[in-house]
Structure 1
Amino acid sequence: MIAYGFSEYGGPETEYFLDVPIPDPGQGQVLVAVHAAGVNPADWKVRAGNRKDTVQTSLPAVLGREVSGTVVQVGTHVDGFSVGDRVFGSTAAGHGGYAQYTVLNASSAAHKPDAVTFAAAATLPVAAGTAYDGVDQLGLASGSTLLVLGAGGGVGSAVLQIAKARGLSTIGVAGTGKQEWVAGLGARFVPSGEHFADAVDTVVDGIFDLVGGDTLKSAVSLTKPDAPVVSVADPVLATSLGGSGVHRRRTTEAYEAVADLVATGVLTPRIDQTFPLERAGEALATVESGHATGKVIIEVG
């Protein structure tokens, strides 16, 4: 099969197309013919070597962590999935999504609802899944105010939509180019920058952070005592401030719940650009530039 990956840790110059055997699913796994793969900042961070301690990688490695597609082979001890099922999920350790075929653990895969496109399904495991788990973790009651730092990206925009559906008021901090998008999701928009906290000008009940650093430190000063804080960008700092990182579930049940939000119109993933597999490098470069507002997708077949 054709796949896109990297040969050594470093910059984009380490990326190239691989001609590798189609993998076999192991116990508790399914082999999927990939229709769409999500592109995420974590992909280039893995390539750069920033995730050596948390992401299992054998070089050369195929990039990508989330896909949608059709099951073409089922491993042993798998219940609930059959050949021909349309599914989405997180790639199994040692496997990537920028490929014609990949392997998913059945426990980290879910059936794709008919009302959800393959492209939309491929955006769910990382960005929407992180948003769903984080909002659950915050546990805010309806009517509470949630401050979202970095509200204009794939995770942040999903947080705004999920929070709104749960009756939360949201304040979204993002670059000025994303004002219309953030406000359109029902949030009060606040431009990012050194003095964003002055513009918030209210006490908030919780924080969902996608920026970290000094921005997170400033935001914590806006919270009520013991307000919950979760951070994707800087979990170590969040923990030191009394919060934590987002505890990801990556389970069939969690993915089914997120897919149902899309199928029922509660959550609408924003797909900025799509690229064919032969332009996978361009897709990753778009995300690595930091200018993508929504999700970038690689369409495979």
Structure 2
Amino acid sequence: MKMISFAEFGGPDVLRLVDAEEPHAGPGQVRVAVRAAGVNPVDWRIREGQFRTVRPIELPSGVGQDAAGVVDEVGEGVEGVEVGDHVFGEGSSTYAEFAVLSAWARMPEGLTFEEAAGYPSVMETALRVIREVGVRPGETLLVSGASGGVGSAVLQVARDRGITVIGTAGAANQDYLRDLGALATTYGEGWVERVRRLGRVDAALDLAGSGVLRELVELTGDPRKVVSIADFGEPGLGVRFSGAAGSMPEALAEAVALISRGKLHIPVEKAYPLAEAAAAHADSRAGHTRGRRVLIV
């Protein structure tokens, strides 16, 4: 089969389309013929070697953890899914023609493979950080870097739970944030005052890692009410970094429920052929995403 692999840490140019042996489903797993794979910031962070000390990997390594496809192998002990089912979920080395998933759910009716591949990791992350920051219905959550995949999910989950969201993003994404139910403003000079004019901030999420933790603490008045998924800096501020993944099966179930109720939709900003994974990583790292980027297999 064809898959994306890298044999050394580095920039997007280390990614190669190679021939590899097909993986097979073990106990508690399913294998899918991948139709689309989600592109997540964690993918290029791993490729760059940012996690090599805390999450060692053996090189050469495959890439990717999110996928949508057609089940073609069912592992021992697996129930409730059959060969031919259309599923989306989390696995390993998903930038490939075949991948093994450890968590999955049937795709909701009307969802394309490309759309489905964009949901697993961002939905798990969104649910986790909302829980960790402790924001409650009736309160206001500030989301820095709100237009990407995780931000898009956070805005819609929060709205469904009765939480007001103030979102910051670039000028081109202001209407997009408003369409998702957020009070929108741009980042850049004067952004703190613009946020204050929109209302009180009870909790805040840093999704972009753009060096705004001090301002988020200032706006909330409490570092315990700020959670980041992208900024390792400023440990003295008392801000929490969320890195430990929660329950993917629960996240997939919540995604299915919200999508089926018409309460969640994360658009695919751009889809790339599998062979153009390097371009997808370069674009993802550049930021300013609206929704998701995926690879088409």
TM-score by length of 1: 0.89
Q: Which residue of the partner structure matches residue 61 of structure 1?
A: 61
Q: Do the aligned partners of residues 71 and 11 (structure 1) sit closer, same or farther apart at CA in structure 2, a change above 3 Å counting? A: same
Give the 3-state SS of the residue equivalent to 2:78 in structure 1: coil
Q: Which residue of the partner structure matches residue 73 of structure 2?
A: 73
- Separation in 1, partners of 2:53, 2:262: 38
Q: How does 1:154-193 map to 2 (within 5 A)?
A: 154-193=149-188
Shift of 1:280: 2.6
Q: Do the aligned partners of residues 167 and 227 (structure 1) sit closer, same or farther apart at CA in structure 2, a change above 3 Å counting? A: farther
2:136 paired with 1:141: yes
Q: Deviations over 1:228-274 (max 9, x none)?
A: 32211126757852544265324322211112212221111121011
- Separation in 2, partners of 1:192, 1:54: 32
Tell me how many residue pairs correspond in the alignment.
295
Q: Deviations over 1:115-145 (max 9, x none)?
A: 3222221111112221122223334222211
2:231 paired with 1:234: yes
Q: Do the aligned partners of residues 190 and 100 (structure 1) sit closer, same or farther apart at CA in structure 2, a change above 3 Å counting? A: same
Give the 3-state SS of the residue equivalent to 1:133 in structure 2: helix
CA contact (8 A) 1:115 1:263 kept: no
Shift of 1:226: 7.3
Give the 3-state SS of the residue equivalent to 1:44 in structure 2: helix
- Separation in 1, partners of 2:279, 2:294: 11
CA contact (8 A) 1:204 1:223 kept: yes
2:95 paired with 1:98: yes
Which blocks of at least 5 consecutive residues in structure 1 are unaligned? none
TM-score by length of 2: 0.91
2:108 corresponds to which of 103, 106, 113: 113
Which range moves more in the overlay, 202-211 or 238-247?
A: 238-247
2:195 paired with 1:200: yes
- Separation in 1, partners of 2:110, 2:56: 34
- Separation in 2, partners of 1:10, 1:284: 12
Give the 3-state SS of the residue equivalent to 1:128 in structure 2: helix
Q: Do the aligned partners of residues 238 and 29 (structure 1) sit closer, same or farther apart at CA in structure 2, a change above 3 Å counting? A: farther
| Aligned residue type for 1:249 | G
| Aligned residue type for 1:196 | W
Which range moves more in the overlay, 72-81 or 223-232?
A: 223-232
Q: Which residue of the partner structure matches residue 33 of structure 2?
A: 33
CA contact (8 A) 2:214 2:237 kept: no
Q: Do the aligned partners of residues 77 and 244 (structure 1) sit closer, same or farther apart at CA in structure 2, a change above 3 Å counting? A: same
Which range moves more in the overlay, 152-161 or 285-294?
A: 285-294
Q: Which residue of the partner structure matches residue 219 of structure 1?
A: 216
- Separation in 2, partners of 1:47, 1:228: 31
Shift of 1:27: 2.2
CA contact (8 A) 1:133 1:247 kept: no
Shift of 1:183: 2.1
1:283 corresponds to which of 280, 283, 293: 280
CA contact (8 A) 1:212 1:237 kept: no
Q: Do the aligned partners of residues 156 and 239 (structure 1) sit closer, same or farther apart at CA in structure 2, a change above 3 Å counting? A: farther
Q: Deviations over 1:94-120 (max 9, x none)?
A: x31110001111xx2222222322222
Shift of 1:289: 2.6
CA contact (8 A) 1:65 1:96 kept: yes
CA contact (8 A) 1:235 1:245 kept: no
Shift of 1:54: 4.3
Shift of 1:196: 1.6
Q: Which residue of the partner structure matches residue 290 of structure 2?
A: 293
Which blocks of at least 5 consecutive residues in structure 2 are unaligned? none
Q: Do the aligned partners of residues 6 and 242 (structure 1) sit closer, same or farther apart at CA in structure 2, a change above 3 Å counting? A: closer
Q: Which residue of the partner structure matches residue 121 of structure 2?
A: 126
CA contact (8 A) 2:32 2:70 kept: yes
Which range moves more in the overlay, 72-81 or 38-47?
A: 72-81
Q: Do the aligned partners of residues 16 and 247 (structure 1) sit closer, same or farther apart at CA in structure 2, a change above 3 Å counting? A: closer
Shift of 1:21: 0.7
CA contact (8 A) 1:172 1:189 kept: yes
Q: Which residue of the partner structure matches residue 6 of structure 1?
A: 6
Q: Which residue of the partner structure matches residue 52 of structure 2?
A: 52
Give the alignment's Cα RMSD to 1 decimal: 2.2
Give the 3-state SS of the residue equivalent to 2:212 in structure 1: helix
Q: Which residue of the partner structure matches residue 152 of structure 1?
A: 147
Paired-residue identity, %: 38
- Separation in 2, partners of 1:211, 1:113: 29
CA contact (8 A) 2:259 2:265 kept: yes
